[in-house]
């Protein structure tokens, strides 16, 4: 089954304790992206990656890091989490090539992070 998976689904942590949220897709997609969803603000892009070893900042990259060492994985790293990073995080992937694909993004189930 084609899908995007995220782990963990729920995480409660304390300020300053480094954490990683994993994202994996099995559709051989070139493009992957991370978003955070906050009430009243919708979804905002954190980082995206156009292919292996190619990443770039989205709209709200501060406090986050990413890496893309393999095509299928795109982990989100919070080196020193703070309470303002409490949010619902979504990973997404898509195929960049071919207008017919419409660049549809496939979303993971979300990771709810609470930083106390």
Partner 1 sequence: AQRVTQPEKLLSVFKGAPVELKCNYSYSGSPELFWYVQYSRQRLQLLLRHISRESIKGFTADLNKGETSFHLKKPFAQEEDSAMYYCALLTGGGNKLTFGTGTQLKVEL
Q: Are strands 87-94 and 4-7 parallel, antiparallel or unpaired?
A: unpaired
- In the complex with partner 1, the residue whose CB is nearer, 59 or 70, is 59
Q: Is 50 in the site for partner 1 (CB under 8 A)?
A: yes
Please state, in angstroms and rounded to a whole number, the distance separating the CA atoms of residues 114 and 116: 6
Q: Is 53 in the site for partner 1 (CB under 8 A)?
A: no
Q: Is 13 in the site for partner 1 (CB under 8 A)?
A: no
Please state, in angstroms and rounded to a whole number, the distance separating the CA atoms of residues 15 and 92: 26
Q: Is 41 in the site for partner 1 (CB under 8 A)?
A: yes
Q: Choose one: 9-17, 21-29, 41-49, 74-82; the region binding partner 1 (CB under 8 A).
A: 41-49
Q: Which of 45, 67, 73, 114 binds partner 1 (CB under 8 A)?
A: 45
Q: Is 104 in the site for partner 1 (CB under 8 A)?
A: yes
Closest listed residue to residue 88, CA positions, set 9, 24, 5: 9
Phi/psi for 75 (5° steps) reads -75, 150
């Amino acid at each position: 089954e084609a899908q995007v998976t995220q782990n963990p689904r729920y995480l409660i942590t304390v300020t300053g304790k480094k954490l990683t949220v994993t994202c994996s897709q099995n559709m051989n997609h070139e493009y992957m992206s991370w978003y955070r969803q906050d009430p009243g603000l919708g979804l905002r892009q954190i980082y995206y990656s156009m292919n292996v070893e190619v990443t770039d900042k989205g709209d709200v990259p501060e406090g986050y890091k990413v890496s893309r060492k393999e095509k299928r994985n795109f982990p989100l790293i919070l080196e020193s989490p703070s309470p303002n990073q409490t949010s619902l995080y979504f990973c997404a992937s898509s195929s960049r090539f071919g207008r017919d694909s419409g660049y549809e993004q496939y979303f993971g189930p979300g990771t709810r992070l609470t930083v106390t």
